Amino acid sequence: GKRVDYSGRSVIVVGPSLSLYQCGLPREIAIELFQTFVIRSLIRQQLASNIGVAKSKIREKKPIVWEILREVMRGHPVLLNRAPTLHRLGIQAFQPVLVEGRAICLHPLVRKGFNADFDGDQMAVHVPLSFEAQAEARLLMFSHINLLSPAIGDPI
């Protein structure tokens, strides 16, 4: 495989408190994925004078950084993919939510579409960057839209 920007990978664990359309992203992964958006927001809100100052605030894990990260994530879907992707349900869109720990959290009812279980399976997370990619993720790929099997129409 090749390296891809704005992506990460981690073990998946069950997150029963999440909604069907949500996934729990570890803080460490989330800040790395959305770092450029957080930097832009820090500068626009005049909380940092330049990129270097913004990066140091992120490194120091200032409380304002987590608030801005939550705000940025609220408007940005992420794609979760479990290899091998054999059918369209192998990659789905979710609304990210910050969680503690180092594992990606998933609602137990969406795991079947990925053919995943919670015994150490790993998933990749990607951030769609363009407006078109984000719209496609929201309209076609969100997990709560894909509750029926594309092959036979039965609930997954």
46-55 long-range contacts (CB < 8 A, ≥24 apart) are: none
Structural domains for the chain: 7-26+77-141 (2.40.40.20), 35-74 (no CATH)
How large is the C-alpha radius of gyration of the chain? 16
Rounded Cα gap, residues 52 and 39, in angstroms: 9
pLDDT tens by residue, 26-81: 999 999 999 999 999 999 999 999 999 999 999 999 899 999 999 999 989 999 99
Rounded Cα gap, residues 62 and 39, in angstroms: 13
Q: Which of 71-75, 114-118, 145-149 has the highest mean pLDDT?
A: 71-75
Question: Taking all residues of the chain, what is their mean pLDDT, rounded to a whole number?
Answer: 91
